[in-house]
Structure 1
Amino acid sequence: MRLAAVISLYIFLVSCEKNIDFIPRDSTPAVVIDAAIESGRPPEVRLSRSMNYFSRLTPELLASTFIHGAKVVMSNGEKTHVLREYKRELITGYSIYYYSIDSASLHTAFRGESGKGYSLTVTVDGKEYSGTTTIPKLNKKVDSLWWKPAPGNNDPEKVAVMARLTDPPGYGNYIRYYVQVDNGPFYPPLTSVFDDQIVDGKTYDVQLESGVNRADDIDLEEYGFFFHGETITVKLCNIDKATFDFWRTMEFNYSSIGNPFSSPTKVLGNIKGGALGYFGGYAVQYSTIVIP
């Protein structure tokens, strides 16, 4: 009798389900700002427009999203410089566009310096967007790098790269790192940003993961390891909290794509005025190890 009641209740609940059909609306493209300044390097700003969620990605579509002719102004508190738009040819035959130092106005140009603050103003179609960032002092560094055989693996060519870091006392030391293999580009790993909630004031060892190009298929069997004969360069960046929050939430969204059990997370940008994206400052240290 009890079993029959349970079955009847189940049938009742199932019969009450209602299918909901809806067609997502195309949203108006938003301005997307990808701006950064590193210690010792000139600023670089990329401007584009967001695409529809269901857009079919093609190189031609991506190329059409770049914003041209914007007014981009950056200040370090002492100098104010109007950035100039440049074109960079890629080996694929396509081009990307970015804004950086105007070589015709070098008297107001500047490079990134640790311990300084920066402001950015972008004007597109008469509308203004702004953001601020700092390049922290380079307080947290890689003390040493070494390699060891890859744990739990029978391939003698595969190795793990280890790093020893010292976190200065006091919370609020945020880092992001990138990895270069031989003379290739610097790529961040799948998880590239870390705070010091657990390691505050400590010297600790950590296994570094290899960087990835998210446009490529990622082989999870090989991911995170390196091989004999490679030269590995680690780019460790001290960043402020706003830059950390942007990449922390962005990488969480990357990892949750296609996962029906993940929780939605808003990407925390630091641009005011209604644009998407961020403006970040990076204090940079490079460390290299050759795996024989």
Structure 2
Amino acid sequence: MRKAYFTFVFLTVIGTACEKEINVDLQRTEDMVVVEGIIEQGSFPMVRISKSLNYFSRITPQQLLESFVHNAAVTVSNGVQTHRLREYRTDTTGGIALYFYTVDTADMQTAFFGEPGKSYTLRIETEGQTFHSITTIPEPKFRIDTMWWKFGKEEDSNRAEILLKVTDPPERGNYFRYFTSLNRGRFLPALSSVFDDQVVNGTSFDVVVAPGVDKNRSSGISGDYGFFDKGDTVTLKFCNIDHNTYDFWRTAEFAYSSAGNPFSSPTRTMGNVKGALGYWGGYSVALKTIIIPK
């Protein structure tokens, strides 16, 4: 809606001969359930459930707190076992409470870790509605060969790039997403964190690793984005993902990068939870650390 508004403003400015007033009816839609669910290799599933917020509303900590969906019946199945997740609360350093569902430590008999090559079904029942989705943790088809660093444009620069050499097998249809942890901080995705093998299928190729970004803090994105500092310890979290997970993040990242651009095309984020917003995604994980010398 906001993109349409800016387009009309632009046309009004350049088309002085056209003075007709244009009103856009910004209708409020019903709140929808929003799901963010992941299951990683070697980890228990984790699911956040909330309600969507009005696009034009001012978001406050209290609104965020009230958006979480509580007491939902959330189960994950690997085809052999079905485990009901339990709701937990954690407090951020900023004093904001977050709620999520993960393994019920009081019932470990049916609990399981994520494994490559297996599919997982998520089922959510809340407020008389039922949502479900299926994801797969793929086998690690994309493989990291080497990881190295190099200085920026000037040899005496304090800034450095990190690169990967990645090999893709002959079979088409492979996807990956990556995160970085800087100096043992939390893992964050880059602005563009997902790749496919449409162009590079069956080859070895280089990838420039960009630093992860907290997209809730746009001030952290500067003009020299893409570089690390001398002395940084960088841990790469390299994840093979399935097609649905790739599609969700590809469209979500495009929408984020074009937000506020009056010339961009509207983008629909492609989730895979029927009847809800968001996604349920599986990740095959490999970790690699590099230290940039001072």
- Distance, in Å, in 1 between the alignment partners of 2:74 and 2:136 is 18
- Distance, in Å, in 2 between the alignment partners of 1:282 and 1:113 is 9
Query: Does structure 1 conserve the Cα–Cα contact (< 8 Å) formed by 2:235 and 2:288?
Result: yes
- Secondary structure (helix, strand or coil) at the match of 2:220 reads coil
- Secondary structure (helix, strand or coil) at the match of 2:43 reads coil
Deviation of the 1:15 alpha carbon: 5.1
CA-to-aligned-CA distance 1:231-260 (integer Å, 9 cap, x gap): 110101000000000000000100110000
Deviation of the 1:18 alpha carbon: 2.5
Which residue identity is paired with 1:258?
G
Which residue identity is paired with 2:281?
G
The residue aligned with 1:4 is none
Which residue identity is paired with 2:289?
T
CA-to-aligned-CA distance 1:5-30 (integer Å, 9 cap, x gap): xxxxxxxx965653221341221110
Which residue identity is paired with 2:23?
D
The residue aligned with 2:123 is 121
Which residue identity is paired with 1:239?
I
CA-to-aligned-CA distance 1:48-79 (integer Å, 9 cap, x gap): 00000111022221121111011101100010
The residue aligned with 2:159 is 158
Residue 221 of structure 1 pairs with residue 230 of structure 2: no
Deviation of the 1:144 alpha carbon: 1.2
Instruction: Decide which moves more: 214-223 or 88-97.
Output: 214-223
- TM-score, structure 1 as length reference: 0.92
Deviation of the 1:220 alpha carbon: 2.9
The residue aligned with 1:178 is 179
Asked which structure has the greater CA Rg, the reply is 1
CA-to-aligned-CA distance 1:211-248 (integer Å, 9 cap, x gap): 10011113332311101111110101000000000000
Residue 193 of structure 1 pairs with residue 194 of structure 2: yes
- Distance, in Å, in 2 between the alignment partners of 1:15 and 1:141 is 59
The residue aligned with 2:95 is 93
- Distance, in Å, in 2 between the alignment partners of 1:111 and 1:256 is 37
Query: Does structure 2 conserve the Cα–Cα contact (< 8 Å) formed by 1:83 and 1:100?
Result: yes
Which residue identity is paired with 2:145?
D
Runs of 4+ in 1 over 3 A off after TM superposition: 13-17
What percentage of aligned pairs have identical amino acids?
A: 47
- TM-score, structure 2 as length reference: 0.91
Deviation of the 1:155 alpha carbon: 6.2
CA-to-aligned-CA distance 1:102-135 (integer Å, 9 cap, x gap): 0111000111000000001101101100100000
- Distance, in Å, in 2 between the alignment partners of 1:163 and 1:288 is 12
Aligned length: 278
Unaligned residue ranges in structure 1 (runs of 5+): 1-12
- Distance, in Å, in 1 between the alignment partners of 2:221 and 2:37 is 30
Unaligned residue ranges in structure 2 (runs of 5+): 1-14
Instruction: Decide which moves more: 282-291 or 218-227.
Output: 218-227
- Distance, in Å, in 2 between the alignment partners of 1:133 and 1:189 is 23
